Chain A
Amino acid sequence: MNRRITNKLATIVFVLCAAIMSITLVYLLGYILTSGLSYVDMDFLTSNSSSFQEGGGIKNQLWNSFYILVVTMIFSVPLGVLGGIYLAEYAKPGKLTNVIRTSVEVLSSLPSIVVGMFGLLVFVQYAGLGYSIIAGALALTVFNLPIIVRVTEDSLRAIPVKQKNASLALGITHWHTVKTVLVPAAFPGILTGVLLSAGRVFGEAAALLFTAGLSTRNLDFGTWDPFDSTSPLNPFRSAETLSVHIWKVNSQGIMPDLDAIANGSAAVLIIFVLIFNVTARVIGNMIFNKITGSK
């Protein structure tokens, strides 16, 4: 009798835990989306931000977020994929392999503010890049690299050995096998990982405060010369991203509609993060079905 009551009680506790978690999280998402989306319209998305008056938009911040994301991926994907190839295909058990595994682990557990400080010192000051898109992207590369390395290694390890043997037994070099057989087979997995990491990079703010900076010029979307200081493409200008904007408006903003701007920006930010996540998930499922579908 007693143990049945205990069992019932325990079940109730577990259900409660799950309920607390689900309700909290659903409430948070719902809150941001409902309170933020009412402020989001075309005007908000396409106008310059304002420092004092009402009615500022997030055009430049949104652009900066995407631009930094793209530059970060240009740096981190090739390096991360090659690092993953090293770990999955070339690393022999030993000291060097331990060192690189530990490095990846250290990089992935660094607080992003520390990455930001490192970026400030090395990229902004020593390399003389100043607060810039490129310095921000380099800092985010440090932050993103371990994720790409891991996804690549995992995706490569998931490929059946028979595929690799097939190629090697045909007198094809290991490197050519990696390029033409293994990486294509691992591509969907890598892509899923890259999209998931894109969501993280897109939302990151702490590492950017001291690297990409807190301000952005009003960009002239008619100027595509990357060396023009108002050009959206200029990688050497300081660039406040959407997530940094949320933080800045909230902590330093003096405009009368700052709550609305912060909530609206957060809603937009979350929607893009969701798009990255859902796309990654859909691709992941497609691959899963393809693998299980064809034997």
Chain B
Amino acid sequence: MSKAQNNEAVTHRLLKKNRSSAKRNERTGKIIVFTSAAIIIAATIAITLFLGYKGLKTFFVFDIDIWNFLTSTTWDGTSESGAFSFIFGSFAVTFLAALFAAPIGIGSAIFMTEIAKKWGQKVLQPVIEILVGIPSVVYGLIGVTVIVPLIRNHIGGLGFSLLAGMIVVGVMILPTITSISADAIKAIPIDIKDAAYGLGATRWQTIYKVIIPAALPSLMTAIVFGMARAFGEALAIQMVIGNVKGLPDSITDQAATLTSIITLDMPHTTYGSVHNSLLWSLGLILLVMSYVFIIIIRVVSSRRKI
């Protein structure tokens, strides 16, 4: 095209005009949508930065030794305090809950998808989805009124214990694990299963040799999701665990977790005090752990074959 033609073409109806309503319309849309996306990113960064800042203050402003903080079991609100009992409590509750919820949850998912498909779809699936939505205070309340007395009367101790926390949280994450596992098993292509049955495998052999290996990364993801939820759960645990600041001697002993101590102590500390700062450091541990869980989930699910 020659230059003359170019100039002539500037007025053509099919060329973009700076002030066309279409262009303005597109620009408005982009601005609105990008702003929203930016706000979401900003919120995430803000949370990370604020918690990081407040949580690290303990070590850089109040000069508390990080090693001492992570390993000491004394918790008196002074600079000698350490969070080890709570870190231990959080991990103990998380692993024990997963130990109890994972087999039952995955077993139920297999029941729903491979053994009683109709019943699973029509009855169990909706029930599980509703249970995922039950508020955690309700689980906590049931823990206090049912599980704690049960432990006190039949096993011993006060009832408020690591065991009670583990049961309550285990029950809480059970529907989560079941629902994600069931989705994973349903996603296995039917011909893989048919091939196994076609070779004369029994149902158990098909489940054990074909279904579980094929769905394994997704099942792991389900368990990690459940553990992440357990680790971050606050009120349900706080209501039943007893909140004693020290390492428990046994599973029926009272204990405390990072979340339960934050819940209890936060309202009673003065802003800017060492004690308050220590609580922010506990919060920072929770934040770091939720990043860790995300990374684990990414690593595990990147190995997904289905």
Contacts and interface: CB of A to CB of B under 8 A. Distances in A.
Q: Is A in direct contact with B (CB under 8 Å) within the complex? A: yes
Given A14-B107, A106-B291, A173-B22, A247 B171 contact: no
A90 B35 CA distance: 12
Contacts of A21: 104-105, 108, 174-175, 178
Interface stretch (A51-59, A217-225, A263-271): A263-271
B40 A79 contact: yes
A112 interface: yes
B138 A31 contact: no
Contacts of B103: 17
Nearest to A278: B130
Interface in A25-41: 25-26, 28-29, 31-32, 35
A137 B46 CA distance: 17
Interface stretch (B69-77, B213-221, B247-255, B263-271): B263-271
Given A14-B115, A89-B33, A247-B140, 11 more contacts: A10-B204, A21-B174, A25-B175, A85-B36, A90-B33, A103-B41, A106-B290, A109-B232, A244-B137, A246-B138, A273-B133
A101 to B, nearest CB: 10
Interface in A102-151: 102-107, 109-115, 117-118, 120-122, 125, 142, 145, 149
B287 interface: yes
In order of increasing CB-CB distance, the 7 nearest A-B pairs are A203-B135, A111-B232, A175-B29, A17-B107, A82-B36, A10-B204, A103-B44
Contacts of A16: 107
Contact of B30 (A102, A121, A175): A175
Contacts of A270: 134-135, 138
A78 B116 CA distance: 41
A17 to B, nearest CB: 3
A204 B137 CA distance: 8
Name the residue among B144, B208, B233, B234 with the largest chain A CB count within 10 angstroms: B234
A142 B47 contact: yes
Q: Is the interface of B mostly helix, strand, loop or mixed?
A: helix
B115 A111 contact: no
Interface string B14-25: 000000001001
Nearest to A246: B137
11 contacts: A6-B202, A7-B204, A10-B203, A79-B40, A82-B33, A100-B40, A104-B40, A178-B29, A203-B135, A209-B266, A246-B141
B92 interface: no
Chain A interface mostly: helix
B189 interface: no
Contact of A105 (B22, B43, B107, B294): B294
Nearest to B123: A22
Contacts of A214: 267
Interface string A149-179: 1000000000000000000000001111011
A18 B263 CA distance: 34
Interface string B103-137: 11111101110111000100010111111011111
Contact of A250 (B131, B140, B233, B234): B140
Nearest to A15: B111
A79 B39 contact: yes
Interface string A194-210: 00100110111110011
A32 B139 CA distance: 10
A25 B50 CA distance: 39
B125 to A, nearest CB: 10
A3 B104 contact: no
